[in-house]
Amino acid sequence: MFRILKTTRLLAALCVVAVLAGCPKTEQTPTPTEKTPVKSPAKTPELTPELTPELTPELTPELTPELTPELTPELTPELTPEKTPEKTPETTPEKTPDEADPSKPLKQAELLLELPDEYSTPDGMCLLPNGDVILAVPNVNSWLADVAEDPQNAVQDPPPALLKITKDNQLEKYYDPPRHPETGTAFPFGMCIDPGGKNLYITDLQWFSNTADPGNKSRVLRIPLDENYDPAGDPVVVIEGIVVANAVIIRDGYLYVSDTTMVPKQDPADKTEPQISGIFRVKLEEEGTKLTLPSIEDPHLVAWIKTFNPDCTFGADGLTFDAEGNLYCGNFADGTIHKIAVADLGAGKEAPIWTKADHMKCCDGIFYDARTEKIYVADSIANAVQIVDPKDGSVQTLAVDEENDGTGGKLDQPCEVLVRGNEVIVSNMDFPLPGGVNQTWDKPYTISVIKLD
């Protein structure tokens, strides 16, 4: 009787083990030894008293220790933490080449227009409200070639001009810029249109009339326009007394202009002395303004910057405003962008470096596009077009080319950019500079286009 009761109790324990063994375990694969107690309940009906003696040797206390390790984790879960599934390490998506290296170009420039031979040096551009683009052609390459050959008798032949690129990309003659009364030359560079579309403003960069002793003869002119945005009146001098009048832009009733070499270096041979350049502004109604010397003390000074490139001393160049009204200025030779906050406009103090990148070698013309919320930069020295994000100052190359002659629309020392729709239009000056990718002025003379997504 004692044996039958003992057998019954042990069989009950085996049943418990069998039930527990049938429950799912957390990430555990049963071993062959764990399956033995699971099969035991199937033999229960055959356990008659006659079989008891045969089972007795197996049903001894020695089996209890074997059962205990299995029962303990199952019956006392609070004492043994459950195994949590092992986490698969999160894999970071591989970066594309462009994400991994911002100097890798996103796009390739293509040909928009090939200019006739008499337009050998395109430069500044202005987008009109109707989608036409006005292109300044100062023809400084042919002019400097004539000066080198015969300084006393050099003439601007072919003459400078303003051209129109229509919205369907046809080229038309637009305007003959007026000659300076003292030098007899004209060098149209930067341009902009007023918010009402009634006036075109152009810079006359007289530094090229005498690069050895330019003086302060550069100026900004206003050209009245009719309802079709065509010239319709005599030009008016808005501001003069500038060394290198380069970019021009209008915001909130003020005209801003950059002077790329505002303060001539005391010793041009001293490569450790920085070049001081600046930005001026005048109210639109203050026509006829003449800056006073020294320029850095003139009350119209918005900000000034330093350029440290020992081989090229061009400083403040392209200008653009973002949506909030902050002013950005490209430092040509150093390849840095300087930011003047709205509150500091007109303060007349040094503008700090806002952003730079190893692969951005130069900041010539710059253009803020409200649709993409990006600043596009003509990088003349690297022969590239860069994209700068105003949110964090990051710089990504949009397009770049090695030294070439511009065939097929390849970049050929871009100097100015603007965005029209989903296209970046690029003016290629092809004006070789120290340290630049472009080393030769050659045909064809081109305007490139980079198609955005």
Residue 57 has pLDDT above 60, yes or no: no
| Among 336, 263, 266, residue whose Cα is nearest residue 304 | 263
How much is the pLDDT for 402?
A: 98
The answer to whether residue 40 sits within a structural domain is yes
429 part of a folded domain:
yes
Same structural domain, 362 and 439: yes
Contact 305, 331 (CB under 8 A): yes
For residues 65 and 112, membership in a common domain is answered with no
> In angstroms, rounded to a whole number, what is the distance separating the alpha carbons of residues 419 and 89?
44
Question: Comparing 52-61, 244-253, 386-395, 410-419, which segment has the lowest mean pLDDT?
Answer: 52-61
Closest by Cα among 284, 396, 301 to 340: 301
Q: Are residues 216 and 357 in the same domain?
A: yes
Decide if 98 is inside a domain. Answer: no
Same domain, 35 and 159: no
Q: How many domains does the chain have?
A: 2
Closest CA to 147 of 190, 97, 98, 185: 185
Domain C-terminal end among 30, 52, 75:
75
322, 328 Cβ separation under 8 angstroms: yes
Domain-embedded: residue 101: no
Burial status of residue 298 (CB atoms within 10 A of its CB: 0-12, 13-18, 19 or more)? middle
- Over residues 163-183, the pLDDT tens digits come to 999 999 999 999 999 999 999
The mean of the pLDDT values for the chain is 85
End residue of a domain, out of 35, 53, 75: 75
What is the identity of the amino acid at 49? P
First to last CA, the chain: 91
pLDDT level of residue 134 (50, 70, 90 thresholds): very high
At residue 269, the pLDDT reads 86
Q: Are residues 150 and 70 in the same domain?
A: no
- Across the range 128-145, mean pLDDT stands at 98
Is 140 within a domain?
Answer: yes
Residues 182 and 59 in one domain: no
Q: Are residues 212 and 273 in the same domain?
A: yes
Using the predicted structure, report yes or no on whether residue 56 has a pLDDT greater than 50. no
Which residues have C-beta within 8 Å of that of residue 324, sequence separation ≥ 6? Answer: 342
- Write down which residue in 30, 53, 75 finishes a domain: 75
Tell me the per-residue pLDDT of 279-327, one tens digit each, with 9 for 90 and over. Answer: 999 999 999 999 999 999 999 999 999 999 999 999 999 999 999 999 9
Check whether residue 318 and residue 255 sit in a common domain: yes
List, for residues 10-30, the tens digit of each pLDDT value: 334 433 333 334 433 334 443
Within a domain: 80: no
The pLDDT-based confidence of 77 (bands split at 50, 70, 90) is: very low
pLDDT the model gives residue 19: 36
**Per-residue model confidence (pLDDT) at position 91:** 53
Share of the chain above pLDDT 70, in %: 78
- Whether 204 and 351 map to the same domain: the answer is yes
- Taking only the tens place, the pLDDT of each residue in 230-264 is 999 999 999 999 999 999 999 999 999 999 999 98
180: containing domain = 106-451
Least confident stretch, 68-72, 233-237, 248-252, 265-269: 68-72
Q: Is residue 28 part of a domain?
A: yes
- Average pLDDT for residues 419-444, to the nearest whole number? 97
CATH number of the domain encompassing residue 415:
2.120.10.30
Do 311 and 417 fall within a single domain? yes
According to the model, what pLDDT value does residue 137 have? 98
pLDDT value for 264: 86
Q: Are residues 225 and 362 in the same domain?
A: yes
- Angle (deg, nearest 10), helices 63-75 and 32-39: 90
The answer on 145 and 22 residing in a single domain is no
Residue 85 lies in a domain: no
Tell me: the pLDDT tens digits for 89-120? 555 555 554 568 999 999 999 999 999 999 99
